[in-house]
């Protein structure tokens, strides 16, 4: 039952992303045309709050619910994959109007065609796993 | 078999709880917390969509005529749902994270790789939005 907290955080994530409209295809389209502050405001305030939170956790050495130290694992320095993979993700983001998390939320919203998007994304992940050693990894 | 598929299901099961929670959260929000599904778009955005034949832009949460099972076997449906979804999955894995993992969590922890990835997200999105979408919407 101790996994229940992840379910609750997931529910919150689903409600907030739906209500803030950041999983609306139209909002993504509008963002990429620089015609609204909406998406930049949501992402920007999330990053600013995130930076402050991370600094507080690090400076005060805060612990999690079970009393373990909260450790931030640095991302590996993989610039070419970040740029190439990031651009491929960007293509998909503009077509589907969804990132991985929002695919689940949109299915919950009742847009059942996103089950297809979900399956295609799983297939994309599978294919990446099969060919990853043939791609630049640094 | 690559290490990519060596996966500790027990250790990572919290992901599944989170994903199921996200579906439930989407259901709760759309059924009980959204009196209005409309998106209040910039009039310029609405005009640009009308110009390429999208009916009633912003009247619903997303363009339902594109993202529907009826549209799945058309070129447009395949591009937006299947090819798009494939690129989301492939690109996220290759980049080592998505908007949450890189743009929000990674930038919050001041990671340079995450900044590069976020630039990639926008590069890809801008190319498709400005040079591809006008011809396929």
Q: Which residue ranges make up each domain of chain B?
A: 10-70, 73-137
Stretches where chain A sits below pLDDT 50 are none
* A90 vs B: CB within 8 A: yes
Distance (Å, rounded) from C-alpha B19 to C-alpha B17? 6
Quick check: A118 and A104 in contact, CB under 8 A?
yes
Q: What is the pLDDT of residue A51?
A: 96
To probe the interface with B, which of A30, A86, A102, A114 has the most B CB atoms within 10 Å?
A: A86
- Predicted model pTM: 0.95
Report ipTM for this prediction. Answer: 0.95
Asked whether residue B130 carries a pLDDT value surpassing 70, the answer given is yes
Q: Measure CB to CB from residue B83 to each of A85, A95, A118 and give the nearest one.
A: A95
* B129 vs A: CB within 8 A: yes
* B75 vs A: CB within 8 A: no
Q: Alpha-carbon dihedral of residues B54, B56, B57, B60, nearest 10 degrees?
A: -120
The predicted-structure confidence for B58-95, as pLDDT tens digits, reads as follows 999 999 999 999 999 999 999 999 999 999 999 999 99
Q: What is the pLDDT of residue B1?
A: 58
Q: What is the pLDDT of residue B49?
A: 97
Distance (Å, rounded) from C-alpha A9 to C-alpha A87? 29
3-state DSSP assignment of residue A2 = coil
- Report the b/e string of B57-86 with b at 16+ CB within 10 A: bbebbbbeebbeeebeeeeebeebbbbbbb
Asked whether residue B2 carries a pLDDT value surpassing 80, the answer given is no
Distance (Å, rounded) from C-alpha B81 to C-alpha B66? 9
Distance (Å, rounded) from C-alpha A44 to C-alpha A40? 5
Quick check: B126 and A34 in contact, CB under 8 A?
no
Asked whether residue B24 carries a pLDDT value surpassing 90, the answer given is yes
Quick check: B88 and A121 in contact, CB under 8 A?
yes
3-state DSSP assignment of residue A67 = coil
The predicted-structure confidence for B110-120, as pLDDT tens digits, reads as follows 999 999 999 99
> In chain A, which among 52-81 make CB contacts under 8 A with chain B?
53-54, 72, 74-79, 81
Distance (Å, rounded) from C-alpha B65 to C-alpha B61? 12
Q: What is the pLDDT of residue A60?
A: 95
The predicted-structure confidence for B33-67, as pLDDT tens digits, reads as follows 999 999 999 999 999 999 999 999 999 999 999 99
To probe the interface with B, which of A33, A36, A74, A94 has the most B CB atoms within 10 Å?
A: A94
A69 DSSP β-pair partners? A63
């Amino acid at each position: 039952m101790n996994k229940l907290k992840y379910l609750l955080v997931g529910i919150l994530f689903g409600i907030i992303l739906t209500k803030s409209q950041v999983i609306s295809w139209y909002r993504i389209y509008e963002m990429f045309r620089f015609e609204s502050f909406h998406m930049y405001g949501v992402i920007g305030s999330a990053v600013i709050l995130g930076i402050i939170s991370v600094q507080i956790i690090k400076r005060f050495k805060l612990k999690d619910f079970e009393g373990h130290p909260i450790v931030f694992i640095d991302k590996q320095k993989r610039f070419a994959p970040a740029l190439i993979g990031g651009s491929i993700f960007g293509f998909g983001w503009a077509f589907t109007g969804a990132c991985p998390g929002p695919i689940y939320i949109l299915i919950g919203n009742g847009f059942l065609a996103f089950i297809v998007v979900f399956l295609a994304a799983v297939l994309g992940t599978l294919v990446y796993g099969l060919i990853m050693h043939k791609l630049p990894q640094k | 078999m690559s290490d990519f598929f060596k996966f500790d299901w027990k250790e990572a099961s919290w992901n599944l709880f989170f994903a199921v929670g996200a579906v439930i959260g989407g259901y709760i929000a759309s059924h009980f917390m959204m009196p209005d599904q409309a998106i209040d778009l910039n009039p310029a955005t609405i005009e640009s969509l009308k110009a390429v034949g999208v009916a009633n832009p912003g009247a619903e949460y997303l363009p339902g005529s594109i993202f529907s099972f009826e549209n799945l076997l058309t070129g447009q449906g395949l591009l937006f749902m299947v090819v798009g979804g494939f690129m989301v999955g492939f690109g996220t894995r290759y980049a080592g994270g998505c908007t949450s993992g890189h743009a929000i969590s990674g930038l919050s922890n001041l990671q340079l790789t995450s900044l590069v990835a976020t630039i990639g997200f926008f590069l890809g999105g801008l190319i498709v939005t400005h040079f591809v979408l006008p011809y396929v919407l």
